[in-house]
Structure formats: structure tokens, C-alpha cells
Amino acid sequence: MNSSLKGPGPHFVKPTHLNMLNTLHLLAIPVLLIGYNLWEYLLRRRRRGLPYPPGPRRLPIIGSFFDVLTRTGLKTQWAIYRDMGHMYHSDILHIDIFGDHTVVLNSAKAAEELLGRRSGIYSSRPTMYMANESGWGWNFGIMPYTSLWRLRRRTFHQHFRSDAIAAYHPFIRQATSRLLRSLSGIQSTTMVTQYDDLQAIIRQHAASIILYITYGINEQEDMEAFVELVKNAAESINTAAIHGNFLVDYFPLLRYVPAWFPGAHFKRKATRWSRYTSELVNKPWNQLRASISSGTAISCFGTKCLEKVDFTFNAADATGDISDLGTSKTESDTKMEEVIRDCAGTAYVAGSDTSVSLILISVLVLSHHPEIQAKAQEELDRVLGSATQLPDFSDRGNLPYVEAVFKELMRMYPSVPLGTTVVGNAWAILHDENLYPDPLTFNPDRFLRTKPQRGAPAAKDSLNPDPELYAFGFGRRICPGRHLALDTSWLVLACLLATCNITRISKSKEIDPIADFTDAATVHAKPFKCCIIPRSAGAFELMQTGYEVETTVET
């Protein structure tokens, strides 16, 4: 087996704390910062309570800043945390940077105990100053654990449950047909699939699904503009929304520094980014509002929530402020509309990049594993007949090897490797050799020997537990979009395996990059080229025709 793809570990390069370094020369105003921190440090000494879990040595004021900094640049954050856990012989790690405390959970046991069983205590987020400065305040994924978060989470969950997503299967099939047609189109002009073309097709696919489900947006031209919008915002969500990437997260007073101040790059970045974030949450929402007014709206998350406004709204919940209970109905409706708009924006941004990462990584990994493709294709041909029909959701139970490939992709390449504050280190857990023997080898067979139960809690000492248990976060902050993500990504994987052979271009570094990944909130494979060739004339035809589906969505 080709084991050159070793998962997002040793190949990663970018230090997450680089953004912090970029703004380091802001320490030109050290008096303010050191004074502030000294004050905090003295306060903490007076309040000293239970000891912290083990972790790198802490110096007064700066904590473990230099210890962490000297390691970044060599590896990714999640690999560093895993190695530190080994060094301090603890699966729970404490890191203090400038008085900002992070607890990292490197084992399934610790994550299940703290983020599962005690999730009421450990489900919050620190205040994300840089994210707020960049206009992300409406995104409930970064909100602390408050009544504001609870209302948004509840509103979101009702429409993204597994059964609610099943109602959108016809649309997901239609989007997958479009993806296959586009892929067969670029294949007919050139043998090599360029990364930008592939990425554009996959981004279009993810965006079309989330925009349709959330806003009922279905027009191709609109879609392109909205894909661009989310691309513009990607840099900021992937850096500003990670607490601690910018000095302002450690020194909140810095947010009062004017944008023109020498070294205040973060302020200028935040100003630029907040234009994108505002467009992101408002543009598609305004389009939905306009379509409701003109009577052309398609039933979707937005319309269904708005229909319910009168019955569900509780002003105290929406504002977190009891005094608001006296609010007039019009004000209440306006506030609830904001809640719905914010949830829709969160779905749009959270759903646009994550599945893209998983699908692109799948293509890269498959191009390195022809033997695994052949085994999956043998199963697909046996179950569906050779190039006669595309795999469908109803076939999923009869395709255990395709399922195993899907699980192995999620295990070895978790798209969102870390959470926040009390950090479940999904990457460390999914590469723990006590759970997954030989964790750096891509081997779907591991999921054939044991029978992972979808959604069932992992037995304490079972081998190869279902990666779905860890790849989507933990406890109350577990990804509420996972049902949509799993359905859309599984269908693309099964269809690609059924219709195409994916191969590497050559072993030369420039045109066949092996697993180099970006280090961000959502991990992406670095640009790569490969050949995606229809397996036969019949397969090409299937890609062109796609599913013959009824596109009306039952709601």
C-alpha cells in the first residue's frame, strides 16, 4: 500500500501564531500592556485555587508564550499539543499565554468526560475580540455559552436534524449531478484536472446546497456571486475566529488603538474583513426578503423560521435581558428576524468551506491509492452493476467498503482538527494508536474488521471507533450541520468512485504535491493536480446525465 500520505501531521508547516508575530511590534506601547498584565497577574496570584493540569513551564506575565512560539513553524498546533501531552505524560494539557488559559484534551476519554458528560461547564468560548472586531459577532459558532447562543442553536438545530436533511436529498442528488457533469466537461478538454478548476466545481457544489437549503437561492448567476462572497470571508473566519491568533485576544485594550497607529495591522485587517462579513450575512438575507415580497420565495430554512416567528419568539431569550419582555411585538419580531438571519449566515459560512475541504482531500488521497479505488469500485460494480446507475443514499447500507473509505478519510484528515478554550484535539484522538492501530496509514479496512455503530458512543476500549464521534466536535458544541455534511460528502465520494479513476500526475513535487495542508480552523489540502478520468464510456454517459430525479423538495 502506498503510505506516502501520512495525514495532516508532519507535513504541516504554517505556525498559527504568525499572525500574532505580525502584530508583535505593537509592543511599541509596552507600558500599557505590561501594566495591564502585571495587574492581571497579581490578581490571579491572589485568587489562586486548584492547580492547573500539567503543561509547559509558565513564566510570570507571558506564561508559556515563548515555549509555544519556539515550537510553531515546525508543526501544526494540533500536532504540537499532542506531542506536549506525551512530554508531560498527561492527556489533559494546560497552556497559559499572557494569562489566557487553554486546556487541551488529547484523548477520547478526556474529551468524552469533560466535553460530553460535563458539557454544561465546558461548552463556552472565550470572548473573541479579533473576530468581533472583524464583524463576526453574529456567528453563533463563536459565541460564549449564553441564552443568546442557546436560542440560535435551537433555531438552527430544528432545521438541520437528520430527518430534516433527508427532505433535501432530491436537491443534493441534483447538485451532485451538476458536479459530475462539470467534472466530465473539464475532462473532455484536458486530461489533467487543475486544482483551481476542481476547487471551483466543488465550492460551487457545497455553496449551491447550503444556499438552497438556507435561503432558497437556486439561480446559477446568483450562486457565483455568493461563492465569491464566502471566498472573500474565508481568510478572516479561518484566522480571526481562532482565539489567540491575534494579540488583541490577549490584550483586549488593543482594540481601542486607532487603525492609523503604526503597527496596528490587525485594525486595518479587521476593518477590511468586516465589510465582507456584513455582506455575507446581509446580501443573501436581503435577497430572500425580496423574494418573499415578490411571492417567488422557495420554501427553505429562512421562510420556515419566519413563518414561526409569532409562536416561538421569547424576547428575553433573544436578548438575554429580562427587561426586554416588555418589548412591543414589532420590536420582538425584528429581533427574532435578526436571530434567524444570523443563524442563516452561520449555516452559509460554516457549510461552505468544511465539506469542500473533505471532498478535496478525498480526491487527493484517492489519487495516491489506486488499490483502494479498485477495491471500492469492485464493490460498487457488484452492488449497482457496471456503469448502469449512480450510487444513491438507499445503497449506502450495501456498500460497507465505500463507507469504510469515507470513515478513514474523516479519521485521518479531520477537516476541523481543534475546537476552542477547552479544546478537544480531534486530530490527536483520531491518530491515537491505542484507538486506531498504525494511525498514520490510510487503511479503510480498519473499519471492516470492527462494526462501528453510527452515532453510538465509543466503547471504552474498542478499537477503531467511528470517527464521526470525534470529527465533528463534542458535547453541546458538536457540529449541528454534520448530517448535511455527511450526506453530501458521502454521495460525492461514492459517485466519484463509481464513475472515475483518480490518478496522480507524477511524483514530481511541483505537479503532484503530497499531503501538504494549510493550518487554519478548517484544514485544506494545498493546491494539487491529478487526473480524474471516467472509468468507461458508460461511466462518462452517467456523469453527463446524472440522476433522473424529481427536484421538488418535500417540506
Task: Find out whether 530 is annotated in a ligand binding site.
Answer: no
Residue type, 351: G
Nearest 10 degrees: CA dihedral of 278, 143, 335, 553?
A: 80
Q: Which span sits near ligand HEM by CB under 6 A: 19-27, 244-252, 304-312, 353-361?
A: 353-361
Residue 355 contacts ligand HEM per CB under 6 A: yes
- Which of 284, 302, 473, 534 touches ligand HEM by CB under 6 A? 473
- Which of 15, 480, 534, 546 touches ligand HEM by CB under 6 A? 480
Q: Which span sits near ligand HEM by CB under 6 A: 10-18, 249-257, 386-394, 478-486?
A: 478-486
Rounded Cα distance, 117 and 53, in Å: 19
Q: Please, which residue, 436 or 540, has the CB nearer to ligand HEM?
A: 436
Is 51 in contact with 42 (CB distance < 8 Å)?
Answer: no
CB-facing half-sphere around the CA of 345: CA atoms within 13 A = 27
- Which of 452, 481, 534, 546 touches ligand HEM by CB under 6 A? 481
C-alpha pair distances (Å), 199 with each of 105, 182, 235: 33, 12, 16
Q: Which residues pair with 533 in a beta bridge?
A: 501
Nearest CA among 504, 238, 147 for reference residue 155: 147
Residue 409 contacts ligand HEM per CB under 6 A: no
The residue behind cell 506601547 is: 29
Q: Which span sits near ligand HEM by CB under 6 A: 53-61, 413-421, 455-463, 533-541?
A: 413-421
- Which of 130, 416, 502, 525 touches ligand HEM by CB under 6 A? 416
Q: Which three cell numbers stand for residue 24?
A: 508583535
Which one-letter DSSP state was computed for residue 394? G
Taking residues 110 to 149 in sequence order and writing x for each that binds ligand HEM by CB under 6 A, - otherwise, the string is: ------------------------------xx--------
Shortest distance, position 456 Cβ to ligand HEM, whole Å: 19
- Residue with the closest Cβ to ligand HEM? 481
Q: Please, which residue, 179 or 471, has the CB nearer to ligand HEM?
A: 471
Total chain residues near ligand HEM (CB under 6 A): 26
Is 525 in contact with 535 (CB distance < 8 Å)?
Answer: no
Nearest CA among 353, 400, 105, 116 for reference residue 236: 353
Q: Please, which residue, 420 or 501, has the CB nearer to ligand HEM?
A: 420
Element (H, E) at 282: helix 265-293
Q: Please, which residue, 202 or 384, has the CB nearer to ligand HEM?
A: 202
Residue 415 contacts ligand HEM per CB under 6 A: yes
Rounded Cα distance, 518 and 405, in Å: 23
- Residue 246 has a CB neighbour count (10 Å cut-off) of 28
Q: Which three cell numbers stand for residue 435?
A: 484507538
Shortest distance, position 500 Cβ to ligand HEM, whole Å: 21
Q: Please, which residue, 180 or 206, has the CB nearer to ligand HEM?
A: 206
Residue 472 contacts ligand HEM per CB under 6 A: yes
- Which of 132, 327, 420, 464 touches ligand HEM by CB under 6 A? 420
Q: What angle do CA 134, 138, 142 make, to 5 degrees?
A: 80
Rounded Cα distance, 66 and 84, in Å: 14
Residue 429 contacts ligand HEM per CB under 6 A: no
Tell me the binding residues for heme.
Answer: 479
Q: Which residues bind ligand HEM (CB under 6 A)?
A: 140-141, 153, 160, 210, 346-347, 350-351, 354-355, 358, 415-416, 419-420, 471-473, 477, 479-481, 484-485, 489
